[in-house]
Amino acid sequence: MSHLDRRQLLKIFGAAAAAGLTSAAAGCSSEPQGTEMEQPSGRTISLGLVAPALGPYAKIGDDITKGFKLYLTDHNSLIGRHKVALRTAEEGPGPDDASKAVKGLLDAGVVAIAGVANPDSLTVIAPLVDEARVPLISAHASPSNLPGHPYVWRVSDVEGESGRVLAPYAKLAGTRTFILSDDSTDNREEASEFKSAFLDLKGTQVVGEQVGKGNFPLRLQQAAAAHADTIFAAYSGADALSLLQAYKNSGLTQRLLGPGTLTESVDLTKLGQLPGHVYTAMYYASDLDNEDNRRFVSSYHKVHGVQPSAYAMAAYDTASVLDKAFRLVQGDPNSFNLNRALTQLGQIDSPRGAWVFNAKRTPQQKWYLRRLRLDGMVPANMLDSDLAVLS
* Residues paired with 87 in a beta bridge: 48
Residue pair 120/55 in contact (Cβ under 8 Å)? The answer is: no
Residue type, 12: I
User: What whole-number percentage of the chain has pLDDT above 70?
Assistant: 90
> pLDDT (tens digit, 9 = 90+) per residue, 117-170?
999 999 999 999 999 999 999 999 999 999 889 999 999 999 999 999 999 999
How far is Cα of residue 323 from the mean position of the Cα atoms in its chain? Answer: 19
Q: d(Cα 205, Cα 228) in Å, to the nearest integer?
A: 9
Catalogue all structural domains in the chain, each as residue range(s) with its CATH number: 29-157+289-357 (3.40.50.2300), 161-282+369-390 (3.40.50.2300)
Average of per-residue pLDDT across 366-388: 95
Half-sphere exposure of 35 (CA within 13 A, CB side): 4
Mean pLDDT of 322-331: 96
| CB 124, CB 107: distance < 8 Å | no
Residue 6 has pLDDT above 80, yes or no: no
Question: Whole-number mean pLDDT of the chain?
Answer: 91
Is the sign of the CA dihedral 70, 76, 82, 87 positive or negative? positive
- Which secondary-structure segment (H or E) carries 7? helix 6-18
d(CA 112, CA 153): 11
Q: How many Å apart are CA 85 and CA 110, to the nearest integer?
A: 9
Q: Is the pLDDT of residue 257 over 70?
A: yes
Does the pLDDT of residue 320 top 70, yes or no?
Answer: yes
CA–CA separation, 85 and 350 (whole Å): 24
Band (25; pLDDT cuts 50, 70, 90): very low
- Residue 9: its pLDDT value, please? 40
Q: What per-residue confidence (pLDDT) applies to 37?
A: 57
Report pTM.
0.88
